Each structure stands twice: as structure tokens, then as C-alpha cells.
Amino acid sequence: MDIRIAHSPDSDDAFMFFALAKDKLPTGKFRFHHTLEDIETLNRKALEGVFEVTAISFHAYPYVEDKYILLPSGASMGDGYGPMVVSREPFGRNELRGKRIAVPGTMTSAYLVLKLFQPDFEAVVVPFDRIMDAVKRGDVDAGLLIHEGQLTYADEGLCMIVDFGLWWRETTGLPLPLGGNVIRRDLGMEDIREISRLLKASIKYSLDNRREALEYALEFARDLDAATADRFIGMYVNERTLDYGGEGRKAVQLFMDKAYEAGVIPKPVKAEFAE
């Protein structure tokens, strides 16, 4: 049975799916085929139910919950760190109002948390890996960084205005939900459970065989050195990625609740997990 898994072309996702991508685990009747796309593209394709399993932003979940259910492993959460706004020159985070800000997509969780923090700004959609260049050129007042840019912005001469993972932790006491893996409901619970088990086993394999998985993930690290890539992967693939736990699930639900209360998503949503 062919199962298409879609995820972003980043070192943390590559690390997570290493064992399945390189046939390190017996997969029984399932044959996994990997598709790599940026997260905003994956969010849009999830609206159409294109892939059996896909990474999505939690911001996208309310729009795809009719087709997909959350898997209990595979989450990326920022625990006191996360997407951040950067600029060429420093200014106060209370000065973001009305600013022209480059964002990696309007369905990303980074965009959602920016809207929760400051709803009044002009969003300019820019591919995530070109946002720092747009800020440096002065095309925008500031940029919303995801992925490795969170660790490399200072090397580019940019200033951090606000780190939303830190802000969310200070505000709620919880980690910031960013992305998760979902699986199509029409596969049926028997296959969903087995695929869920295999995905969790893949994450555990990488955590248990870190050096081997890191070597593979470096192919997707966009010129990061090994130490920086390892640090980035550790931020987003860890024990909470194996299982959300009570705190992780609470954080996802709170994120959905606050998004609805702020009018960013159109309906209240109950985060539903495949058990």
C-alpha cells in the first residue's frame, strides 16, 4: 500500500523521517514515498487532501480537520523559543503596529502568533528562505523568521524584535505549537494506527541513532555547520516530538482557542488526535 508522506525540506523534518526515508525499519504492507515542499505549500495542499500523511502548520488544522486527524507524534513546538520578528535596526516590539512585515505564508503558525501578538500590520508574503534578504534590502520594515533563520539572523546583521516562543511561554506557561503531522481520515483506523506506530518508530530511531540521522539531515541544513544543525534539530525534534504529552496537547488546544477568540480562524476547533 503506497503512502505519500509530505514534509518540509528542512533538517528537523529530514531527521524525523530518516528511518522511513532510508528503509531502516520494516514497514509491512506500507511503502512510503516522500514529497518535500515548503510548509505553506503543504498547508494549501492539505486543503485538498492531496497526501495521505503530511506536515502542516497548526494554523492550518481548523481548515483541514474534516479530512485529517492529528497524529500523536511528530509535533514541532517552541519551548521558550520559536518564530521571531527581525529588522535591520532595533525598535521596540510595541512598535510593530502598522509595520510592513515579510511573512512566510498566511497559513503558517508563525503568522497566526504574530496576529495574536499584533493584529495591525501589513503582511507581505515572501518565501521563508528569502525573508532575511528582503529585510536586509529594506523591501520591508521587518521579517518573520521560521526554520534555521532563528539561529542565524545575527550573523546576517539583523536585530531581533520579538521571539514568539518566549512571549508565548511567558504569557501562557506552555510551549508554542508550530507544526504537526496529520493523517487522512479515509484510511480507516486500523491503517491509521499502524502508520502512526511507524512514524513514531522513525522519530525514536533518529533520537536513538543521532549521529547517523544527523549526517543525513545535514543534507537539508542549508549550509549550517554540523553543530548549529544539531542544535536546531534538538530544538524541534525531542521527547515532545515522540508524544505531545498533556502539556503539548493543552498548548495546541489553547492555540486554537486564542485564534478563534481573536477572529483569526472562523470557528472554534477541538484538536483531535488519532489514538
* pLDDT value at residue 127: 93
Task: Measure the CA–CA gap between 209 and 203, rounded to whole angstroms.
Answer: 10
Q: How far is CA 261 from CA 70, 264, 265, in A?
A: 22, 8, 8
Q: Which of these, 13, 185, 164, lies nearest to 81 by C-alpha position?
A: 164
* pLDDT value at residue 230: 94
Task: Measure the CA–CA gap between 245 and 268, rounded to whole angstroms.
Answer: 22
CATH topology of domain 2-77+176-261: D-Maltodextrin-Binding Protein; domain 2 (3.40.190)
Backbone angles phi, psi at 172, to 5 degrees: -115, -20
Task: Map grid coordinates 503530511 to a residue.
Answer: 54
Question: Tens place of pLDDT for every residue, the chain, 275 residues?
Answer: 999 999 998 899 999 999 999 999 999 999 999 999 999 999 999 999 999 999 999 999 999 999 999 999 999 999 999 999 999 999 999 999 999 999 999 999 999 999 999 999 999 999 999 999 999 999 999 999 998 889 999 999 999 999 999 999 999 999 999 999 999 999 999 999 999 999 999 999 999 999 999 999 999 988 789 999 999 999 999 999 999 999 999 999 999 999 999 999 999 999 999 98
* pLDDT value at residue 21: 95
Write down the pTM of the prediction.
0.94
* Interior angle at CA 180, CA 178 and CA 183, nearest 5: 155
**Do 2-77+176-261 and 84-172 show the same overall fold?**
yes
Of how many residues is the chain composed? 275
Domain residue ranges in the chain: 2-77+176-261, 84-172
For the domain with range 84-172, which CATH number is right: 1.10.10.60, 3.40.190.10, 3.40.950.10, 3.30.70.120? 3.40.190.10
Task: Measure the CA–CA gap between 187 and 193, rounded to whole angstroms.
Answer: 10
Q: Please, are residues 136 and 157 in contact by the beta-carbon 8 Å criterion? A: yes
7 counts as catalytic: no
The residue from 7, 33, 59, 147 that is catalytic is 147
* pLDDT value at residue 223: 77
Q: Which of these, 184, 147, 132, 156, lies nearest to 39 by C-alpha position?
A: 147
DSSP codes joined into one string, the chain: -EEEEEE-SSHHHHHHTHHHHTT-S--TT-EEEEEE--HHHHHHHHHTT--SEEEEEGGGHHHHTTTEEE-SS--EEESS---EEEESS---GGG-TT-EEEES-TTSHHHHHHHHH----EEEE--GGGHHHHHHHTSSSEEEE-TTHHHHGGGGT-EEEEEHHHHHHHHHSSPEEEEEEEEEGGG-HHHHHHHHHHHHHHHHHHHHTHHHHHHHHGGGSTT--HHHHHHHHHHHSSHHHH--HHHHHHHHHHHHHHHHHTTSSSS-----B--
